[in-house]
Amino acid sequence: MPTNILMPALSPTMEKGNLARWLKKEGDKIKSGDVIAEIETDKATMEYEAVDEGTLAKIVVPEGTQDVAVNSVIAVLAGEGEDVKAAASAAKAAPASAPEKKAEAAQARQEAPRLAVTPAQKPSPATAPKVAEAPQVVHGNRVFSSPLARRLARDAGIDLGRIQGSGPRGRVIARDIDAAKSGKGLRTPAAGAALGAAIAPTMSDQQILSLYEPGSYELMPHDGMRRTIAQRLTASVQTVPHFYLTMDCGIGKLLAAREEINAAAPRDKNGKPVYKLSVNDFVIKALALALQRIPDANVSWAEGGMLRHKHSDIGVAVALPGGLITPIVRNAESKSLSAISNEMRDLATRARGRKLKPHEYQGGTSSVSNLGMYGIKDFTAVINPPQSTILAVGAAEERAIVRNGKVEAAQIMSVTLSCDHRSVDGALGAELIGAFKTLIENPVMMVV
């Protein structure tokens, strides 16, 4: 019988993606391992390889389609000896008959009858079914809600904990999300405190738009990356207790060593140096070694216990049009500066082309965010869970300092360490940033 080709989950957290391009057309023969399509996640564009063999009978989801749910049918493959036309005609009914679609449709009918009827059948307000309001059922930090409501809330960027449910026993259902989009049915900070935290109410889109004259702005819809960044950083600020530690580091020796190392770099056959170290390469290496010296800070918080990491996997923030991504240098403590430099150049290039694979930007034990190239003196960065720390690096600049009772000029770089207070206490964070300062000010210690 025909085989349904489903939208793949290309990362553990992926729930939907964009079908960027079909590399095969209807009627083409497909072999196992053939790349048949390109799928866009919020962070990368990845190739989709066929698992089965046969003939591509029908493309159900055309290229360019946005927000295709994971495990939904995107194409149908006719097996060896099967009637391709019959498989293609059967494909038209495949999405509706898929188990997950049936379940979703049933859920929609149960939760919001108005969604399951045609305009001609739409009940009048007098006859529309009503559900009595009841207190929302909350267990700890869990809010009871339907799968459809959770998906709609996630897509709209609405915190379920702030929504007053109108379903059975206070369950949050689809119509509650529709109401919340217009600012209705949202809990006040006092009500939100029942969930363990008082969350300030946010303005609805309508409230925001009402503050500006029509035609005085251009509404630019959020893409998947921007929505994901907003959701994750909001969650980080709301759930991770941040504190910050700042130090000034003298990098005169580092700059001199960098110049000397780059000048001595071997050349390839085209006469170009095989590596070119940046200050950021030294920062990555120094943070990686500092985490090894202070292993109690190389951790991740989990409710069941603390994860103490054996290696220093350092994420590095890379700016992209419309957002950013943090590719990870794995085992950075054991790599040479030249290896880190070349690896980061490759990762950054592929990140800007959205060609990274999920394992190249997920996880990590700490991160670096460097805005020094923009002339920023110092700043604080938001932790990227489940990491416990992130180092914000400012610009190197010539400053007047006092040394041995004399004022002299020195190259100084300010760095700020953001710490998760659940897993890294103040003294421990101070030890970590102190170890970093020692290494960055004495770069010869990184190559011993």
Best CA proximity match to 165, nearest among 157, 155, 175: 175
Region of residue 218 (left: phi > 0; alpha: psi -120 to 50; beta: else): beta
* Cα(80)–Cα(77) distance, integer angstroms: 10
Whole-angstrom Cα distance, residue 365 to residue 362?
Answer: 10
Q: What is the 3-state secondary structure (H, E, C) of 163-189?
A: ECCCCHHHCECHHHHHHHHCCCCECCH
Distances in Å between the alpha carbon of 248 and those of 286, 366, 394?
A: 15, 20, 10
Judge if the upstream peptide bond of residue 386 is cis by omega within 30 degrees of 0: yes
Both tokens assigned to 213: 């004259």
End-to-end CA distance of the chain: 63
Catalytic residue from among 242, 311, 359, 421? 421
Dihedral sign from CA coordinates of 417, 423, 425, 429: negative
Going from the C-alpha of 236 to that of each of 15, 244, 380, 419, 420, the distances in angstroms are 20, 15, 14, 12, 10
Tally of CA atoms within 13 A in the half-sphere of 295 that contains its CB? 5
Expressed in percent and rounded to 5, the helix, strand and coil fractions of the chain are: 35, 25, 40
Q: What residues are paired with 29 via a beta bridge?
A: 55
Under DSSP, is residue 280 helix (H, G, I), strand (E, B) or coil? helix
Phi, psi at 305, each rounded to 5°: 160, 175
Task: Give 184-245 as a DSSP string.
Answer: -SBPPHHHHGGGTS-------HHHHHTTS-TTSS------HHHHHHHHHHHHHHHHS-EEEE
Question: Other CB atoms closer than 10 Å to residue 309's CB: what's the count?
Answer: 18
Instruction: Give yes or no: 311 in active site.
Output: no
3-state secondary structure of 395: strand
Residues 417, 387: Cα–Cα separation, whole Å: 12
Known catalytic residues are 421
